[in-house]
Chain A
Amino acid sequence: AQSVSQHNHHVILSEAASLELGCNYSYGGTVNLFWYVQYPGQHLQLLLKYFSGDPLVKGIKGFEAEFIKSKFSFNLRKPSVQWSDTAEYFCAVNPDSNYQLIWGAGTKLIIKP
């Protein structure tokens, strides 16, 4: 079955630290990849997406993600986090066999001021 794994359920960092959140998926075909962010009490927002082309994609608020096809990974990065990045981050995959999104379990990120 197709699945998405986010390795860390909770991450706590200090401001200005670098961030990397892992995401791996299980599907051998073509995929579209997404990272969504959900700030406390708010709705889901699209952070960035990958459809094709340059495997390093840049999103809003200084986030970027790298698609490594050989590793079935789409890790999210930010060089220097801010307190306002405290949120839950969800990785989602849309395989070409299925128009629906398959979701990871989410990573709760807490930034200490």
Chain B
Amino acid sequence: DAMVIQNPRYQVTQFGKPVTLSCSQTLNHNVMYWYQQKSSQAPKLLFHYYDKDFNNEADTPDNFQSRRPNTSFCFLDIRSPGLGDAAMYLCATNRAKMNTEAFFGQGTRLTVV
């Protein structure tokens, strides 16, 4: 059974039109991450939540925001998508301790037209 679920799998949005991607987990992990992955590149961490504490990476554009209303759900909001924001967006969770692995969702592929 899928433990980290991302919706939708594919999202097409118009240039400048706000879009929200969602992630849910059944693992009760305290950390949730959002990554952006462009073709043939490593995942790039945008931000993460440690419980309710939001941690933004220094180079994450202000255009990207996130919400975590409860342990199970986390949302990625792109306020004004540009063509350069087209990418795969990955959600991941872990327990923030050693000897545990991160679990990834299947990703949402975002296309901006």
Q: How many residues of B contact A (CB 8 A)?
A: 23
User: In chain A, what residue has the closest Cβ to B55?
Assistant: A100
User: In chain A, what residue has the closest Cβ to B103?
Assistant: A46
Q: Which of A34, A99, A103 contacts B43 (CB 8 A)?
A: A103
With A43-B106, A44-B90, A44-B104 given, name 20 new contacts (CB 8 A): A30-B98, A32-B101, A43-B90, A43-B104, A43-B105, A43-B107, A44-B107, A46-B101, A88-B40, A90-B43, A96-B98, A99-B31, A99-B97, A100-B48, A101-B102, A103-B42, A106-B40, A106-B41, A106-B42, A108-B40
Flag whether B13 is at the interface (Cβ < 8 A). no
User: Interface residues of A toward B: which range?
Assistant: 20 to 34
B interface vs A, CB < 8 Å? 31, 33, 40-43, 45, 48, 50, 88, 90, 94, 96-102, 104-107
A103–B102 Cα gap in the complex (Å)?
13
From residue 42 to 86 of chain A, which have CB atoms closer than 8 A to chain B? Answer: 43-46, 49, 51-52
A5 to nearest B CB, angstroms? 12
User: In chain B, what residue has the closest Cβ to A51?
Assistant: B99
**Which residues of chain B come closer than 8 Å to A96, judged between CB atoms?**
98
- Which of A51, A90, A101 has its CB near the most chain B CB atoms (within 10 A)? A101
A70–B90 Cα gap in the complex (Å)?
33
**Which residues of chain B come closer than 8 Å to A43, judged between CB atoms?**
88, 90, 104-107
